[in-house]
Amino acid sequence: MAAIPPSNTVLPFAIPRQNPGLHSITCQFVAPFLGQKSQFGELSHDATKAPTPCKVLSKTGDSLSSIVSELEEEGTQRVLEQDDEELKTTATQPEHQLADAWREILGQDDWVGLFDPMDPLLRSELIRYGEMAQACYDSFDFDPFSKYCGSCRFMCHEFFDSLGMSHFGYNVPRYLFATSNINLPNFFKKSRWPKVWSKNANWIGYVAVSDDETSKRLGRRDIAIAWRGTVTRLEWIADLMDFLKPISSNKIPCPDLTVKAESGFLDLYTGKNEACRFCKFSAREQILSEVKKLLDIYSNEEAVSITITGHSLGAALAILSAYDIVEIGLNALKDGRAVPVCVFSFSGPRVGNARFKERLEMLGLKVLRVVNVHDLVPKSPGLFLNEQSPPMMMKLAQGFPWSYSHVGVELALDHKNSPFLKPTGDPVCAHNLEAHLHLLDGLVHYNKNRF
């Protein structure tokens, strides 16, 4: 089922004191009806008629109901005009300025001053890349009774068109696959049919590139990479071995042996099965070869960027692949220019240790992590030893295989502050990607987390 892009769903946050009816956090977005009658408009004419003695006080002879009706119409019209003006400003402002401000949006200055109030350009881009991550779920075949379970339901050349996202202006030259031999049973999906498209592979994302028209609007040629995560279950967190190991042990070049990442993420990123034509090459080899090809094609253009996004487990793969690109210098062009690499992650777990964080910052990789404060996934692994622990304790535990640290800049949201989401005790709801996009769509002041 195609996603309902929150950026295209008008949520009239500016409408004062209307009760739209709270809906479930499963992100079936609803909007209050502007045309509903007020408590005065629902009264009968007889109920609103004033007593006869009072009529002599009215010079105009208007009844109370007609006065209330007129005031109500004026108020509704004023609200509608205000909303129309705000929607026009929101719709036009990002498009007119993005070509000039894209470097700031991709974290050139670490997003300083863009959160409070929430910058409309940043909000628009976060939602756009979030929808690219959501497209991985909407196009994935979850049906265990399908012969193609675990694959993408659409061909590369019709990916965005099939999802109703042709207006994004991106082409998909390559899909990404990973071997399902990795110990993450709640991430991989397999068909129950005896004859299937592949017994060893799962589709885990895609590489896309902006077309000429979109590149002109963005101000650069954008190479986008989206990784699939987990949309319905959180058990994959329990599947993690929660064990750090040197990145170089999985054949990712790194001069510092103390730079470590979670072993399950590394195995998923670098694992392959030469007997399968879909995962004969690892996800790492697939993505690096495609990015190199695209950079060679567009190396003569004035501006190029690499933007990687993902949700949940896909967010961890986004950070790991972005680090890999800058570590091996793949983003360095022949003329000496460095292509900016940025990660927009959603509900992502911790990926590596403190040395991984320091190495990533030294290489100039920009990461903006969007999280829900009630979500369990960003709090793991490393529940006890993490970036929030006392510095002295982290220094002593630096060599421990379960000492983790988040990377980049965090944008923390709270779904309890949204008047459009019903409270629920289901932890999966706090992890839902579309809920994050809804919160971004309505966020006005970050420090107050106010809609």
List, by residue range, all CATH 3.40.50.1820 domains of the chain: 106-442
Most confidently predicted of 140-144, 368-372, 420-424: 368-372
pLDDT, position 393: 78
**Of 74 and 213, the one with more pLDDT:** 213
Query: What is the Cα–Cα distance from 229 to 206, expressed in whole angstroms?
Result: 12
Report whether 335 contacts 157 (CB < 8 A). no
CB 316 within 8 A of CB 352: no
| Residue 365, helix vs strand vs coil | coil
Backbone angles phi, psi at 413, to 5 degrees: -115, 165
- Go through 135-174 and write b for each residue having 16 or more CB atoms within 10 A of its CB, e for each that does not: bbbbbbbeeeebeebbbbbbeeeebbebbebeebbbebbb
Indicate the SS3 state at residue 334: coil
User: Does residue 297 surpass a pLDDT of 90?
Assistant: yes
Q: What is the pLDDT of residue 56?
A: 42
Mean pLDDT value across residues 21-47: 39
The per-residue pLDDT of the chain, averaged, comes to 80
Domain 106-442 classification at class level: alpha beta
List, by residue number, the catalytic residues.
Answer: 312, 375, 431
Q: Is the model's pLDDT at 86 over the cut of 90? A: no
Per-residue pLDDT, 70: 63
266, containing H or E segment:
helix 263-270
Is the N-terminal amide bond of 185 cis, ω within 30° of 0?
Answer: no
Strand 260-262 to 244-246 pairing: antiparallel
Q: Give the model's confidence band at 211: pLDDT under 50 very low, under 70 low, under 90 confident, else very high.
A: very high
Q: What's the average model confidence in pLDDT over 278-300?
A: 96
> 3-class DSSP state for residue 346?
strand
What does R_g of the chain's alpha carbons equal in angstroms?
25
pLDDT band at residue 57, thresholds of 50, 70 and 90? very low
Res. 41 pLDDT band, cuts 50 70 90: very low
Region class of 164: left (phi > 0), else alpha (psi between -120 and 50), else beta: left
pTM of this structure: 0.77
CA distances 168 to 154, 163, 210, 237, 373, Å, are 17, 11, 8, 32, 30
pLDDT confidence of residue 29: 36
Q: What percent of the chain has pLDDT over 90?
A: 52
Say if CB 138 and CB 440 are below 8 A apart: no
- Is pLDDT of 367 > 60? yes
**Which range among 142-146, 262-266, 394-398 shows the weakest confidence by mean pLDDT?**
394-398
Model pLDDT, residue 446: 56
Q: What is the pLDDT of residues 372-413, one digit of tens each?
A: 999 989 998 887 777 877 877 777 777 777 789 999 999 999
Distances (CA, A) of 229 to 306, 345, 431, 451: 20, 11, 11, 28
